[in-house]
Each structure stands twice: as structure tokens, then as C-alpha cells.
Amino acid sequence: MNYPRCQLLPGREKSLLRRHPWVFSGALAEPDAAFAPGETVLLCAADGTPLASAAWSPESQLRARVWSFDPEEVIDADFFRARIARATAWRRMLGLLDPAGGCRLIYSESDGLPGLIVDRYGEFAAAQFTGAGAERFRDTIAGLLLELPFLRGVYERSDVPVRGKEGLAERRGMLAGENIPAEVEIVEEGLTFAVDLRHGQKTGFYFDLRSARSVVRRRAAGRRVLNVFAYTGGFAVAALAGGAVSVLNVDSSAPALARAEKNLRRNGFASGWENCCGDAFRILRELDGAGEKFDLVILDPPKLIPGKAALLRGCRGYQDLARLGFRLLDPGGMLANFSCSGLMTAELFQKITADAALEAGRDAAVIARMEQAPDHPTALAVPETFYLKGLLSRVE
Ligand code: SAH
């Protein structure tokens, strides 16, 4: 297409040829070219060969993100309609378009839509725009989402600090269609959750943990469960549905625990659980000091490694948690620990968990590996789209 051309430095086209969609400023002949934020540009090799069309992001080190590796493709409403249809078709194939359920409908780079995340909650959705390109087409995308026959309203949750890197202010509010209700109920594998799209963390609910919830549900029978970083009780409900004898939820957010309580009651669990509000690291130490024991400990902390600088500290955090988790288990117990830090590799996470078991003096063996559910696919060309790792370890 006739988009303004943007030349790469010699040899810097390699990642594009491998269909990785990010171009950093250092790879460009003119990184400070005066294109508008989000403007579509044509990325060309140093010899002038057109390679891809991309969204320009003047404020970010990640200066361009590819929309299409077909340099002829026009980036307009039809382009976005086709990408959204493609993403939607995969969720239908996965059986995730049940009107009463929810799922991640669009997962950014993995669905060929960098900088756009859309989570569907029944007939409503929460959208997040994290790139200058997606932002520029915001109105177009909003209109196209409403064209989907199963959506009535879309709320925007672009209140994430990462927008700052793109020179975008945080934003939240109605985006398109009908006003969303204060809470939206969704059903997952027969369990009901009420989600607050306006105020919940991220877009309100962790669909990426769907497969992990089902592992926990399958393994919870007869167990005393400690659910640390419980948020709105996803694992708590799954564990009780799977026959857990008790659940202790720990989280530092009182509103999250209040919602967990509602979700537990909504699913018929009036008792058999307790909530404990406070810092997880402190509470784990206190439980350990008091000699408390459990049969299943779940540790699902927030991202402890937000950037490379935090790698060491974050690893120590994961290891501390796992060590305390192992200590709190009776023989025959199981630890389910997770990391949603993209910078933590699966291999390193296993190593850290192994070190934690050693420190706790426990023999342990992994019986299941968990990862982000399939509506959060890993684009093979973009390994950064893989982030969630979990291990289920049995303890002697
Ligand atoms: N396991 C949850 C998702 C966890 S999100 C689920 O199944 O949906 C991370 C949670 O950790 C949030 O609810 C946040 O409130 C909580 N959190 C963050 N830091 C914490 C801390 N230091 N102590 C306890 N909870 C914390």
C-alpha cells in the first residue's frame, strides 16, 4: 500500500522475516521520523523491499508494531473486521462462545492485533488499548466489536500504566453500546462468577487460569486448601466444587475478598471457607509459626518480575512463597504455584520451585504443569505472548 515508507538499517529486517511484529527504534534508519502516533507506515528493508505495514509509536522504544506482513494489505475497518472475525472463530472452535460464559476474545499479538485485548463477559466486554496503533483505530474497533451479534456493550479498561510508554493517558469508561451492569455474571464449567468490569483488576476476571481452575477442581477432594492471592475466589469455588473440606483465602484486597465471599455463596458454599485479609508473605509466616497444615496450597501472586531490573528480587519472592507453601503441607499434600511474569521461563520456575522444596526439606515431584488457557494462545513467532506457568507438585 501507499503508506509512508520507513527504512530499516541493514541487517535489521531479520526479526520481521521471522514474523516477529516488533521494531525497536535502534533498528530504524530514521527513528525520529515525524509520523503521527499510530499512523500506518510501510516497513522496508535497507534495500527498499517492502516487508510489512505497521503502527508507528513515536513515544515508545518499541517504535513500530506490525499489523500485516503482507505489504499490500490495506489497514482499514475491513482489515480489523477480518482479524476480529478470525479471533472470534477460534474461540467458537474452543467452545468458548456460550452466551452465559466468558473468554478472552482478542489477545493482542497472538491474534494479529498488537496492543488490543478484549475479554468477553456474557453479552458484555472489556477492551484494553495499549498501543498507539490500536488507539488510533479505537473508534473503528469499538464499532466493529458492537457488530458482533453476541455483544451488547463494551467497556474500556485502558487504565494501565503501560500506556504511559506509548505516550497515552490512562482511560476507563463506556466505549460502545449499552451501559454495562454493575456486575456481570458468567458461568464457567457450571460454576458462576460475578465480575465487576468497571473496578476489578485487569478486566475483572482471570480467564487465563481457566485450565488451572479445572486442575485444582479435579485434585481438591478431601483436602484442606490454602488459597493465597485469592482475588475473587476463582480457585476457592473450584476447590469446593471439587470436594475440598475447607478453604482459607488470603488476599491483601478487602473488596476482592468481599467478592470472593459473594461468589462462594452464589455457588452454594455458605460455609467451609474463611477469608483472611492481609499481606500474603506475613500471613504465610504466621501460619507456619503457628504450626498450621494444609493438603493443597495454591500460590498465584501478581507479576513479581515487572521488568528485567526486578528479576532477582522477583525470583526470590517466588522462592520464598514456594518454600513457605511447602512447609505448610502435610505429607501427601500438593503445592500449586504460579508465575505470570513473562520474564520467568518455565525452566527457571521449576528450578526455583526445586530450590524451595530443598530449603523446606521436602521431597516433591511435579504431577501437572499448567499454563494460560487456550484463549490466550502463544504465537510461535512471538514467544513473549507466553507468560503463565504453574506447577502442581506432590509432597512426600
Ligand atoms: N488467583 C486469583 C488471581 C490472583 S491476582 C484468581 O484465581 O483469580 C493477584 C492477587 O494478589 C490480587 O487479588 C491482589 O489483591 C493480591 N495481592 C497482591 N499483593 C499481595 C500481597 N502482598 N499479599 C496478599 N495479596 C496480594
**Cell representation of residue 300:** 498465584
8-state DSSP, 273: E
Strands of the sheet containing 22-24, edge to edge, are 5-7, 40-44, 50-56, 62-68, 22-24
**For ligand 1, is residue 13 a contact (CB within 6 Å)?**
no
Best residue among 203, 228, 251, 321 to mutate for probing ligand 1, ranked by most atoms within 8 Å of CB: 251
So what's the pLDDT on residue 94? Answer: 98
Find the 315 Cα to ligand 1 centroid distance in Å: 17
Cα 260 to Cα 271: distance, rounded to the nearest angstrom: 13
Find the 13 Cα to ligand 1 centroid distance in Å: 41
For the chain, how far is it from start to end, CA to CA, in angstroms? 63
**Cell representation of residue 83:** 482479524
Q: How far is CA 65 from the centre of its chain?
A: 20
Contact 250, 280 (CB under 8 A): yes
**For ligand 1, is residue 234 a contact (CB within 6 Å)?**
yes
**Cell representation of residue 95:** 467452545
So what's the pLDDT on residue 389? Answer: 98
3-state class of 308 per DSSP?
helix
Contact 217, 272 (CB under 8 A): no
pLDDT tens for the chain, residues 1 to 396:
789 999 999 999 999 999 999 999 999 999 999 999 999 999 999 999 999 999 999 999 999 999 999 999 999 999 999 999 999 999 999 999 999 999 999 999 999 999 999 999 999 999 999 999 999 999 999 999 999 999 999 999 999 999 999 999 999 999 999 999 999 999 999 999 999 999 998 889 999 999 999 999 999 999 999 999 999 999 999 999 999 999 999 999 999 999 999 999 999 999 999 999 999 999 999 999 999 999 999 999 999 999 999 999 999 999 999 999 999 999 999 999 999 999 999 999 999 999 999 999 999 999 999 999 999 999 999 999 999 999 999 999
**Cell representation of residue 139:** 473508534
**For ligand 1, is residue 280 a contact (CB within 6 Å)?**
yes
List Cβ neighbours of 390 (8 Å cut-off, separation of 6 or more). Answer: 212, 300, 336, 337, 338, 339, 369, 370, 371
Identify whether 340 is a catalytic site residue: yes
Work out the angle between the directed axes of helices 311-327 and 346-360 (0-180°, nearest 10): 50
**For ligand 1, is residue 276 a contact (CB within 6 Å)?**
no
- Residue of 273, 278, 322 whose CA lies nearest to 298: 322
Cα 227 to Cα 233: distance, rounded to the nearest angstrom: 8
- Nearest ligand 1 atom, CA 300: 1
So what's the pLDDT on residue 203? Answer: 87
**For ligand 1, is residue 285 a contact (CB within 6 Å)?**
no
Set 6, 44, 315, 340: catalytic member: 340
- Residue of 288, 275, 273, 207 whose CA lies nearest to 239: 273
Q: How far is CA 113 from the centre of its chain?
A: 15
**For ligand 1, is residue 209 a contact (CB within 6 Å)?**
yes
**Cell representation of residue 240:** 469446593
Best residue among 188, 215, 252, 298 to mutate for probing ligand 1, ranked by most atoms within 8 Å of CB: 252
Find the 254 Cα to ligand 1 centroid distance in Å: 11
**For ligand 1, is residue 256 a contact (CB within 6 Å)?**
yes
Q: Angle 262-267-271 (CA atoms, 0-180°, nearest 5)? A: 75
So what's the pLDDT on residue 378? Answer: 98
Cα 58 to Cα 40: distance, rounded to the nearest angstrom: 12
Find the 154 Cα to ligand 1 centroid distance in Å: 26
**Cell representation of residue 264:** 462462594
DSSP labels for 53-89? Answer: EEEE-TTSSEEEEEEES-TT---SHHHHHHHHHHHHH
List Cβ neighbours of 227 (8 Å cut-off, separation of 6 or more). Answer: 233, 235, 236, 239, 247, 248, 249, 250, 298
Find the 279 Cα to ligand 1 centroid distance in Å: 9
